[in-house]
């Protein structure tokens, strides 16, 4: 629902005053100066609270501080915190950002990209057809802000409470991750943002520093067979010729071709999670089989025998 | 209504509009309206509001001054609003995420205007370096070239659902990245219909020397699987450990039982897809019906086991290692 012009006028005048003032102003001073507030104290208090919420909801850095020893609250907006710094973008560079915002769908966050473009001077080019969809979980904007301010965050991830220094954000295979130092486990860990339940609690700013050479994507393990703490073993798999390229592509650079026959290829790869590797190989149905180690092969056979005997 | 919902789009627009006009005196109103996604009438209404903004003591010189000749507009005395409001976290994230994602698309210029714009953003706003990887299947560049030139191509395509490779002639129309994979939408001459192909499953691509007349198609990235009305519906029972299945695939219905197990109904277009799911889930999933699907997991497991027992007997008979 659009706001009434009188309310827009009042909020804009409130902001103009708060930006202009050198000292924090009390509510009484503000409602006295700015036109449009109801005369009755309880009503103008409510209206003022609502306007404050509106400004803060838009991201206006409205601060509250106590004045002198009276304990009375004063409000102001520090211009340095309000103004967008000059980014020095050329029209061509702004246009490139515009193309990016229309080409990449980000789910609920897409509208915020358009809001950002408004601040950079609006829209000058026709939108392009989307080329990629990378929906962003709502928690990610909070984590992003926590990273900027170097603030420790707490959240529930897969049912467990985590206390993390967010060191970076990254997206791989269409999923977003926050990567950082897990204070409880005392190790760098990656967390899928869409697996965070509920709100993210943000602590005080400047609570940590990020190592200079840190790259968040180095810590995201998109290969499940390496997501584990088991002793690494070299697994050998034989895969039918028609499926070898697909398997090699999924296994990535760490896999080695041991032998190539006309009808099959033997591939070796290091793994640290046997259960995940079993799932991977079973994805090839009867086009692939584990050869070694014998224990892993027996494990797959045992698994299949259980499935084969099951009632369904 | 939550308090946040009150933050009016008009206020945000005016706060972006004013600094722009201040920096561009005599801006053409028609162009301004276009830039900020409004009509000229709305722009006039916004400008009327701008005239009402001032600071105490509200003498004539304390108000913003709008100079409007009907076609061009300037704003003076707008010291407080000379710059736009800083970006919100979600806005900064949206620009960087979209920009970094597009820059990661193979073929983007790593030193072009977008790359420079993102570097400037990160420097000026002290935004974190955000790393986006969208992968690069081997034939992506060739498929995109074919789309751009409207070239009809022949592909060898491995269908995971049917677990076989077929050769098809396709007219590729749209390439996009969704759910972590690259897809091409195309008219398939074999199916005589629109089809979606995962580019990493295209095993080979050959030009036919022909081109096609492109139709304007509206493909929504993200809608990569649309169950057909006549696809069989299979009911599965899942233990809590396999509950992710209900999130990962489009389900027709999900019922949670008191013990935390789920009963879900899935559209299954291809039997091999269901086989793959069931042998991987093992004891965590069970088919409840219809009857012709009850034996899917057992049959698939037995087929894979035959492969294992064959290798074992070959090994014993020849005495040589497999490799």
CATH of the domain at B163: 2.30.30
Which 163-182 residues of chain B touch chain A by CB within 8 A? 163, 165, 174-181
User: What pLDDT score does A24 carry?
Assistant: 93
The per-residue pLDDT for range A230-280, each reduced to its tens digit, is 888 999 999 998 888 888 888 877 889 999 999 999 999 999 888 889 999
B42 or B106: which leads in pLDDT: B42
Burial class (CB in 10 A: 0-12, 13-18, 19+), B253: exposed
B217 or B261: which leads in pLDDT: B261
User: What pLDDT score does B226 carry?
Assistant: 57
Span A226-309: which CATH code? 3.30.70
In a domain, B322, yes or no: no
Q: How many domains does chain B have?
A: 4
User: What pLDDT score does A311 carry?
Assistant: 56
User: Who's near B31: CB < 8 A, 6+ residues apart?
Assistant: none
User: What pLDDT score does B2 carry?
Assistant: 35
Task: Determine whether the interchain pair A9/B275 forms a contact, defined as Cβ–Cβ distance below 8 Å.
Answer: no
Which 224-243 residues of chain B touch chain A by CB within 8 A? none
List the helix and strand counts (H, then E) for chain B.
Answer: 9, 13
Task: Determine whether the interchain pair B276/A104 forms a contact, defined as Cβ–Cβ distance below 8 Å.
Answer: no
Peptide bond into B290 cis (omega under 30): yes
Angle of helix A274-282 versus helix A294-309 axis, rounded to 10: 60
d(CA B278, CA A44) in angstroms, rounded, equals: 64
Task: Determine whether the interchain pair B16/A87 forms a contact, defined as Cβ–Cβ distance below 8 Å.
Answer: no
Instruction: Please list every residue in chain A whose beta carbon sits closer than 8 Å to the beta carbon of residue B300.
Output: 285-286, 307
User: Which two tokens mark A91?
Assistant: 């029209």
What's the rounded mean pLDDT across residues B164-180?
91
3-state SS, residue B238: strand
The shortest C-alpha distance from A16 to chain B (Å) reads: 6
Instruction: Please list every residue in chain A whose beta carbon sits closer than 8 Å to the beta carbon of residue B36.
Output: 118, 122-123
Instruction: Please list every residue in chain A whose beta carbon sits closer than 8 Å to the beta carbon of residue B200.
Output: 246, 249
User: Which two tokens mark A94?
Assistant: 């702004």
User: What pLDDT score does B244 carry?
Assistant: 77
Instruction: Please list every residue in chain A whose beta carbon sits closer than 8 Å to the beta carbon of residue B87.
Output: 59, 84, 116, 119
Which residues form the domain of B187?
140-211
Which 72-91 residues of chain B touch chain A by CB within 8 A? 79-91
pLDDT > 90? residue B314: no
A197 or B149: which leads in pLDDT: B149
The closest CB to that of A119, out of B84, B89, B279, belongs to B84
The per-residue pLDDT for range A32-42, each reduced to its tens digit, is 999 889 888 89
d(CA A302, CA A296) in angstroms, rounded, equals: 10
Angle of helix A110-119 versus helix A91-103 axis, rounded to 10: 170
d(CA A52, CA A10) in angstroms, rounded, equals: 11
Task: Determine whether the interchain pair A291/B131 forms a contact, defined as Cβ–Cβ distance below 8 Å.
Answer: no
Task: Determine whether the interchain pair B11/A217 forms a contact, defined as Cβ–Cβ distance below 8 Å.
Answer: no
- Of the listed ranges B72-76, B122-126, B153-157, B300-304, the one predicted with least confidence: B122-126
Span A139-221: which CATH code? 2.30.30
Instruction: Please list every residue in chain B whose beta carbon sits closer than 8 Å to the beta carbon of residue A89.
Output: 117, 120
The shortest C-alpha distance from A113 to chain B (Å) reads: 5
Which 33-62 residues of chain B touch chain A by CB within 8 A? 34-37, 45, 48-49, 52-56
Tell me: domain A5-82, CATH 1.10.10.10, correct? yes
User: What pLDDT score does A192 carry?
Assistant: 87
Which secondary-structure segment (H or E) carries B188?
strand B181-188
Of A154, A197, A196, which Cα lies nearest the Cα of A175? A196
Task: Determine whether the interchain pair B276/A283 forms a contact, defined as Cβ–Cβ distance below 8 Å.
Answer: yes
In a domain, B238, yes or no: yes
The shortest C-alpha distance from B189 to chain A (Å) reads: 24
B23: domain CATH number is 1.10.10
Going by pLDDT thresholds of 50, 70 and 90, the confidence category of residue B227 is low
Going by pLDDT thresholds of 50, 70 and 90, the confidence category of residue B319 is very low
Instruction: Please list every residue in chain B whose beta carbon sits closer than 8 Å to the beta carbon of residue A238.
Output: 311, 322
User: What pLDDT score does B222 carry?
Assistant: 45
Sort residue B303 into left (φ over 0), alpha (ψ -120 to 50) or beta.
Answer: alpha
Rg (CA), chain B: 30
Query: Which segments of chain A have a pLDDT < 50?
Result: 1, 312
The closest CB to that of B130, out of A7, A50, A170, belongs to A170
- Of the listed ranges A123-132, B140-149, B198-207, B214-223, the one predicted with least confidence: B214-223
Judge if pTM exceeds 0.95: no
pLDDT > 50? residue B5: no
- Greatest mean pLDDT range, A1-5, A174-178, B214-218, B243-247: A174-178
User: What pLDDT score does B320 carry?
Assistant: 47
Going by pLDDT thresholds of 50, 70 and 90, the confidence category of residue B27 is very high
Angle (CA) B172-A250-B134 rounded to 5° is 55
User: What pLDDT score does A127 carry?
Assistant: 75
Residue B105 shares a structural domain with residue B35: no
The closest CB to that of A106, out of B4, B98, B305, belongs to B98
Residue B77 shares a structural domain with residue B7: yes
User: What pLDDT score does B217 carry?
Assistant: 54
The closest CB to that of A285, out of B89, B103, B163, belongs to B163
pLDDT > 80? residue B312: no
Domain ranges within chain A, ordered by starting residue: 5-82, 91-133, 139-221, 226-309
Task: Determine whether the interchain pair B91/A12 forms a contact, defined as Cβ–Cβ distance below 8 Å.
Answer: no
Cα nearest neighbour of B127 on chain A: A148
Q: Say what percent of chain B tops pLDDT 70.
A: 90
Task: Give whole-number Cα distances, A185 to A164, A181, B164, in Å.
Answer: 10, 8, 45
Task: Determine whether the interchain pair B98/A113 forms a contact, defined as Cβ–Cβ distance below 8 Å.
Answer: yes
Residue with tokens 């969704």: B178
Which 4-33 residues of chain B touch chain A by CB within 8 A? 4, 6-16, 20, 32
d(CA A178, CA A190) in angstroms, rounded, equals: 6
The closest CB to that of B85, out of A16, A58, A136, belongs to A58
In a domain, B225, yes or no: no
């Amino acid at each position: 629902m659009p706001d009434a012009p009188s309310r827009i006028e009042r909020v804009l005048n409130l902001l103009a005053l708060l930006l202009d003032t050198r000292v924090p102003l009390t509510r009484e001073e503000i409602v006295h100066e700015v036109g449009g507030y109801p005369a009755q104290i309880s009503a103008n208090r409510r209206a003022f609270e609502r306007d404050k919420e509106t400004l803060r909801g838009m991201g206006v850095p409205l601060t509250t501080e106590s004045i002198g020893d009276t304990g009375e609250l004063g409000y102001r907006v520090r211009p340095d915190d309000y103004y967008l710094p000059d980014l020095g973008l050329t029209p061509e560079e702004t246009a490139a950002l515009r193309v990016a915002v229309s080409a990449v769908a980000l789910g609920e966050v897409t509208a915020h990209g358009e809001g950002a473009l408004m601040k950079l001077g609006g829209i000058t080019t026709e939108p392009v057809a989307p080329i990629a969809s990378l929906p962003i979980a709502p928690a990610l904007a909070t984590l992003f802000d926590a990273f900027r301010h170097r603030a420790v965050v707490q959240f529930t991830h897969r049912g467990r409470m985590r206390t993390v220094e967010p060191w970076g954000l990254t997206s791989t295979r269409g999923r977003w991750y926050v990567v950082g130092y897990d204070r409880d486990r005392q190790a760098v860990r990656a967390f899928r943002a869409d697996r965070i339940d509920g709100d993210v609690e943000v602590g005080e700013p400047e609570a940590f520093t990020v190592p200079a050479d840190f790259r968040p994507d180095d810590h995201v393990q998109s290969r499940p067979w390496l997501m584990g703490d088991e002793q690494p073993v070299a697994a050998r798999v034989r895969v039918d010729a028609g499926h070898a390229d697909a398997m090699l592509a999924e296994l990535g650079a760490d896999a080695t071709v041991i032998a190539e026959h006309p009808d099959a290829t033997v591939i070796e790869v290091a793994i640290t999670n046997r259960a995940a590797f079993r799932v991977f190989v079973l994805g090839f149905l009867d086009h692939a089989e584990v050869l070694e180690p014998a224990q892993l092969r027996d494990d797959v056979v045992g698994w299949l025998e259980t499935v084969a005997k099951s009632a369904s | 209504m939550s308090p946040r919902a009150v933050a009016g789009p008009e206020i945000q627009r005016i706060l972006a509009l004013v600094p722009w006009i201040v920096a561009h005196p005599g801006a053409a109103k028609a162009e301004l309206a276009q830039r900020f996604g409004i009509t000229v009438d709305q722009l006039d209404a916004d400008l009327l509001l701008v005239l009402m903004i001032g600071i105490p003591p509200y003498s004539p010189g304390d108000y913003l001054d709008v100079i409007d000749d009907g076609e061009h507009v300037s704003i003076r005395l707008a010291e407080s609003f000379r710059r736009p409001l800083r970006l919100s976290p979600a806005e900064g994230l949206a620009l960087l995420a979209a920009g970094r994602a597009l820059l990661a698309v193979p073929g983007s210029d790593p030193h072009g205007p977008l790359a420079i714009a993102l570097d400037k953003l990160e420097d000026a706003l002290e935004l974190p370096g955000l790393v986006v990887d969208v992968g690069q299947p081997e034939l992506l560049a060739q498929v995109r070239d074919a789309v751009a030139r409207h070239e009809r191509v022949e592909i060898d395509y491995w269908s995971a659902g049917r677990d076989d490779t077929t050769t098809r002639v396709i007219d590729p129309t749209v390439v996009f990245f969704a759910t972590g994979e690259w897809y091409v939408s195309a008219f398939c001459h074999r199916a005589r219909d629109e089809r979606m192909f995962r580019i990493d499953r295209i095993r080979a691509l050959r030009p036919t020397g022909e081109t096609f007349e492109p139709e304007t198609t509206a493909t929504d990235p993200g809608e990569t699987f649309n169950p057909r009305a006549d696809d069989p519906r299979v009911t599965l029972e899942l233990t809590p450990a396999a509950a992710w299945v209900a999130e990962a695939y489009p389900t027709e219905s999900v019922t949670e039982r008191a013990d935390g197990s789920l009963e879900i109904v899935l559209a299954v277009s291809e039997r091999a897809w269901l086989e793959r799911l069931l042998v991987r889930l093992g004891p965590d999933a069970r088919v409840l019906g219809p009857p012709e699907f009850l034996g899917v997991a057992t049959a698939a497991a037995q087929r894979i086991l035959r492969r294992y027992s064959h290798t074992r007997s070959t090994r014993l008979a020849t005495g040589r290692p497999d490799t």
